[in-house]
Structure 1
Amino acid sequence: MSVVDPDLRAVSTTCAYCGVGCGILATPDGRGGAAISGDPEHPANFGRLCSKGSALGETLGLTNRLLYPMIRCDKGNMERVAWSDALDHVAHRFQHIIARDGPGAVAFYLSGQLLTEDYYVANKLMKGFLGSANVDTNSRLCMASSVAGHRRAFGADTVPGCYEDLDEADLLVLVGSNAAWCHPVLYQRMLANKQGRGARIVVIDPRRTDTVGDDDLFLGLKPGTDTALFSGLLVYLADHGKLDDNYIAAYTTGFDDALARARSMAGSVGATALATGLSEADVAAFFQIYANTPRVVTLYSQGVNQSAQGTDKVNAIVNCHLATGRIGKVGASPFSLTGQPNAMGGREVGGLANQLAAHMAFTPPDIDRVRRFWKAPRIATHEGLKAVQMFDAIARGEIKALWVIGTNPAVSLPNADVVREALKKLELFVVSENVTSNDTVDAGPHVLLPAQAWGEKSGTVTNSERRISRQRAFMDAPGEAKPDWWILGEVAKRLGFGAAFNFNSAADIFREHAALSAFENEGERDFDIGGLKALSDEAFDAMAPVQWPTRLNAQPQARFFAEGGFFANDRKARFIAPEVPVLRTETTAARPLRLNTGRIRDQWHTMTRSGESPRLGQHLPEPFVEVHPDDALRHGVDDGGFARVTTDYGQCTLRVVVSERQQRGMLFAPIHWSEANATGARVGSLVAPYTDAFSGQPENKATPASITPYEYVFRGFALSRKPLALPAHAWAARVAVNGGYGYLFADNADLKGWQSWLKSFTAEDLAEYKDFGGGVYRAASFAGDRIETCLFIGPASDAGDWNVVKGLFAADALSNDQRRMLLSGKSADGLADAGPIVCACFGVGRNTICESIAGGARTAADIGARLKAGTNCGSCIPELKRLIAQTGTAAVPQQLAVAAN
Structure 2
Amino acid sequence: MTAIDPALRATRTTCAYCGVGCGVLATPDGNGGAAISGDTEHPANFGRLCSKGSALGETLGLEGRLLHPMIRCSNGVMERVAWTDALDHVAHRFHHIIARDGPGAVAFYLSGQLLTEDYYVANKLMKGFIGSANVDTNSRLCMSSSVAGHKRAFGADTVPGCYEDLDEADLLVLTGSNAAWCHPVLFQRMLVNKQRRGARIVVIDPRRTDTAGDADLFLGLKPGTDTALFSGLLVYLADNGALDRDYIERYTAGFEDAMARARSIAGSTAATALATGLAEKDVAAFFQMFANTPRVVTLYSQGVNQSAQGTDKVNAILNCHLATGRIGKPGASPFSLTGQPNAMGGREVGGLANQLAAHMNFTPPDIDRVRRFWKAPRIATHEGLKAVQMFEAIARGEIKALWVMGTNPAVSLPDADAARAALGKLELFVVSENVRSNDTVNSGVHVLLPAQAWGEKSGTVTNSERRISRQRAFLTPPGETKPDWWIVGEVAKRLGFGAAFNFNSAADVFREHAALSAFENGGSRDFDVGALSSLSDEAFDAMAPVQWPIRAGEAPRPRLFADGRFFSNDHKARFIAPEVPVLRTETTAARPLRLNTGRIRDQWHTMTRTGASPRLGQHLPEPFVEIHPDDALKSGVTDDSFARITTDYGQCILKVVVSERQQRGMLFAPIHWSEETASDARVGALVAPFTDPYSGQPENKATPASIVPYEYVFRGFALSRALLALPPQIWWTRVSVSGGHGYLLANNADLAGWQSWLHAAAGDDLAEYKDVGGGVYRAASFSNDRIETCLFVGPARDAGDWNVVKSLFAAEALSNDQRRTLLSGRSMDGLASAGPVVCACFGVGRTTICDAIAAGAGTAAEIGARLKAGTNCGSCIPELKRLIAQAPVPGADSDQRQLATASN
Per the shorter chain, which TM-score range? over 0.9
3-state secondary structure, aligned to 1:495: helix
3-state secondary structure, aligned to 1:497: helix
User: Cα distance, 1:829 vs. partner?
Assistant: 1.2
Cα contact 1:854–1:890 (8 A) shared by 2: no
Amino acid aligned to 1:273: A
User: Cα distance, 1:581 vs. partner?
Assistant: 2.1
User: Cα distance, 1:827 vs. partner?
Assistant: 1.0
User: Cα distance, 1:740 vs. partner?
Assistant: 0.6
Corresponding position of 1:595: 595
Corresponding position of 1:572: 572
3-state secondary structure, aligned to 1:685: helix
Cα contact 2:4–2:29 (8 A) shared by 1: no
Partners of 2:647 and 2:245 in 1: how far apart?
48
TM-score with structure 1 length normalisation?
Answer: 0.98
Partners of 1:136 and 1:762 in 2: how far apart?
45
Corresponding position of 1:481: 481
Kindly indicate whether residue 686 of structure 2 is the aligned counterpart of residue 683 of structure 1: no
Q: How far does the alpha carbon of each residue in 1:79-128 deviate from its partner, in whole angstroms, 9 at most, with x for none?
A: 00000000000000000000000000000000000000000000000000
Partners of 1:608 and 1:783 in 2: how far apart?
29
Q: How far does the alpha carbon of each residue in 1:719-769 deviate from its partner, in whole angstroms, 9 at most, with x for none?
A: 001100111111000000000111001000111111001001324331000
Partners of 1:639 and 1:271 in 2: how far apart?
37
3-state secondary structure, aligned to 2:830: coil
Cα contact 2:804–2:831 (8 A) shared by 1: no
Corresponding position of 1:147: 147
Corresponding position of 1:211: 211
**Over aligned residue pairs, what C-alpha RMSD do you find?**
1.4
TM-score with structure 2 length normalisation?
Answer: 0.98
Kindly indicate whether residue 132 of structure 2 is the aligned counterpart of residue 136 of structure 1: no
Unpaired segments ≥5 residues, structure 1: none
3-state secondary structure, aligned to 1:880: helix
Kindly indicate whether residue 106 of structure 2 is the aligned counterpart of residue 106 of structure 1: yes
Cα contact 2:358–2:527 (8 A) shared by 1: yes
Partners of 1:668 and 1:427 in 2: how far apart?
37
3-state secondary structure, aligned to 2:242: coil
3-state secondary structure, aligned to 1:535: coil
Partners of 2:148 and 2:528 in 1: how far apart?
20
Alignment map for 1:266-665 (pairs within 5 Å): 266-665=266-665
Q: How far does the alpha carbon of each residue in 1:281-310 deviate from its partner, in whole angstroms, 9 at most, with x for none?
A: 000000000000000000000000000000
3-state secondary structure, aligned to 2:211: coil
Corresponding position of 1:157: 157
Q: How far does the alpha carbon of each residue in 1:684-727 deviate from its partner, in whole angstroms, 9 at most, with x for none?
A: 00000000000000000000000000000000100001100111
Corresponding position of 1:34: 34
3-state secondary structure, aligned to 1:492: helix
Q: Paired residues, what number?
A: 894
User: Cα distance, 1:831 vs. partner?
Assistant: 3.8
Q: How far does the alpha carbon of each residue in 1:360-398 deviate from its partner, in whole angstroms, 9 at most, with x for none?
A: 000000000000000002000000000000000000000
Partners of 1:551 and 1:761 in 2: how far apart?
63
Partners of 1:284 and 1:583 in 2: how far apart?
25
3-state secondary structure, aligned to 1:760: helix
Cα contact 2:596–2:700 (8 A) shared by 1: yes
3-state secondary structure, aligned to 1:236: helix
3-state secondary structure, aligned to 1:834: coil
Partners of 2:780 and 2:191 in 1: how far apart?
48
Q: Evaluate the alpha carbon distance shift between residue 273 and residue 5 of structure 1 in structure 2; reply closer, same or farther with a 3 A threshold.
A: closer
Partners of 1:176 and 1:38 in 2: how far apart?
27
Cα contact 2:113–2:340 (8 A) shared by 1: yes
Cα contact 1:854–1:889 (8 A) shared by 2: no
Kindly indicate whether residue 760 of structure 2 is the aligned counterpart of residue 728 of structure 1: no
Corresponding position of 1:858: 858
Q: How far does the alpha carbon of each residue in 1:118-146 deviate from its partner, in whole angstroms, 9 at most, with x for none?
A: 00000000000000000000000000000
Cα contact 1:853–1:889 (8 A) shared by 2: no
Cα contact 2:91–2:495 (8 A) shared by 1: yes
**Segment of structure 1 superposing worse, 683-692 or 857-866:** 857-866
Q: How far does the alpha carbon of each residue in 1:765-794 deviate from its partner, in whole angstroms, 9 at most, with x for none?
A: 310000122110000010010000000000
3-state secondary structure, aligned to 2:367: helix
Corresponding position of 1:235: 235
3-state secondary structure, aligned to 1:181: helix
Partners of 1:238 and 1:157 in 2: how far apart?
27
User: Cα distance, 1:4 vs. partner?
Assistant: 8.6
Partners of 2:138 and 2:763 in 1: how far apart?
46
Partners of 1:625 and 1:359 in 2: how far apart?
40
Alignment map for 1:805-824 (pairs within 5 Å): 805-824=805-824
Cα contact 1:259–1:577 (8 A) shared by 2: yes
Partners of 2:882 and 2:4 in 1: how far apart?
47
Q: How far does the alpha carbon of each residue in 1:13-45 deviate from its partner, in whole angstroms, 9 at most, with x for none?
A: 000000000000000000110000000000000
Cα contact 2:148–2:157 (8 A) shared by 1: yes
User: Cα distance, 1:190 vs. partner?
Assistant: 0.1
Corresponding position of 1:710: 710
Q: How far does the alpha carbon of each residue in 1:180-224 deviate from its partner, in whole angstroms, 9 at most, with x for none?
A: 000000000000000000000000000000001111000000000
Partners of 1:441 and 1:198 in 2: how far apart?
50
Corresponding position of 2:667: 667
Partners of 1:798 and 1:512 in 2: how far apart?
63
User: Cα distance, 1:888 vs. partner?
Assistant: 3.1
Corresponding position of 2:869: 869
User: Cα distance, 1:867 vs. partner?
Assistant: 0.6
User: Cα distance, 1:5 vs. partner?
Assistant: 6.0
Alignment map for 1:78-117 (pairs within 5 Å): 78-117=78-117
Amino acid aligned to 1:652: C
Partners of 2:475 and 2:496 in 1: how far apart?
33
User: Cα distance, 1:427 vs. partner?
Assistant: 0.1
Partners of 1:196 and 1:608 in 2: how far apart?
39
Kindly indicate whether residue 262 of structure 2 is the aligned counterpart of residue 257 of structure 1: no
Partners of 1:5 and 1:379 in 2: how far apart?
51
Unpaired segments ≥5 residues, structure 2: none
3-state secondary structure, aligned to 1:879: helix
Amino acid aligned to 2:230: F
User: Cα distance, 1:796 vs. partner?
Assistant: 1.1
Cα contact 2:307–2:699 (8 A) shared by 1: yes
User: Cα distance, 1:890 vs. partner?
Assistant: 7.8
Cα contact 1:154–1:574 (8 A) shared by 2: yes
